[in-house]
Amino acid sequence: METLYHQTNKQIQEVQSQMGNLERTDRESVHLLENELQARIDQIFTHLERLEILASKEPPNRRQNAKLRVDQLKYDVQHLRTALQNFQHRRYTREAQDREREELLSRTFTTNDADTSIHIDETIQLNTNLHNAHRGMDDLLGSGSSILNGLRDQRSTLKGTHKKMLDVANMLGLSNTVMRLIERRATQDKFIMIGGMLLTCVFMFLVIRYLG
């Protein structure tokens, strides 16, 4: 298990490093890098499935720690996948806007379009402003989506960690008072997380309504 764990952890670090190259890669090659990153992320998830099986077969005194280490790797790669999806969404939006702008600029006006050609500069400026507003909304939505995914991932991780803490506590024979304190803290964390998700949704709704 240790060999596969270190190999998977190294792959996650390499993907994190390559993610920084997305913004610097030219438009003709960026989709190749995206495909490579997606393939590596899929491979990491395959390794994690194997690691979960191996962790469940560890001796009882090492099993909980092994599962926690695997959960941390899973948490890291889920964030990488979300970041890649957000980047792809922004790239698709920019490319669509660029195509619309090029079509507008390349339009041929005839003598019957005299009135339209008089206002071409204003139309282009209006179109550019609308695209900028849409891009800002897409960035906000992408950030909000990333935050919500992160909160969901944290909730799943906290639930798993809470269960494992209770298992460890039972093994160590901790008192009922300590057990209740642990459960109360987990409940408080849950309410805090739900409140954060609701505030994020309200913020995104207000931004969309204001910009719209």
State which H helix or E strand residue 5 sits in.
helix 2-19
Rounded to whole angstroms, the Cα distance separating 161 from 33 reads 35
Share of residues in the chain with pLDDT > 70 (%): 62
For residue 140, what pLDDT is reported? 63
Using the 8-state DSSP alphabet, how is residue 59 labeled?
-
Token pair of 189, please?
Answer: 């964390």
Q: Is the CB of residue 41 less than 8 Å from the CB of residue 115? A: no
Rounded to whole angstroms, the Cα distance separating 191 from 183 reads 13
> 135-188, pLDDT tens digit by residue?
666 666 666 666 666 666 666 666 666 666 666 656 555 455 666 676 777 777
Q: Is the CB of residue 38 less than 8 Å from the CB of residue 84? A: yes
> 24-55, pLDDT tens digit by residue?
888 788 888 889 999 999 999 999 999 888 88
For residue 43, what pLDDT is reported? 92
Q: Is the CB of residue 80 less than 8 Å from the CB of residue 15? A: yes
Torsion angle, alpha carbons of 120, 123, 128, 133, to 10: 180
Task: Please name each of the domains of the chain with its CATH number.
Answer: 1-105+160-211 (1.20.58.400)
Most confident of the following: 20-34, 105-119, 191-205: 20-34
pLDDT surpasses 80 at 11: yes
Q: Is the CB of residue 46 less than 8 Å from the CB of residue 110? A: no
How far apart are the two ends of the chain, measured CA to CA in Å?
52
For range 124-136, the mean pLDDT: 66
What is the pTM assigned to this prediction? 0.50
Share of residues in the chain with pLDDT > 90 (%): 7
Rounded to whole angstroms, the Cα distance separating 120 from 125 reads 9
For range 183-199, the mean pLDDT: 76
Radius of gyration of the chain from its Cα atoms, rounded to whole angstroms: 25
Q: Is the CB of residue 33 less than 8 Å from the CB of residue 25? A: yes
For range 92-105, the mean pLDDT: 82
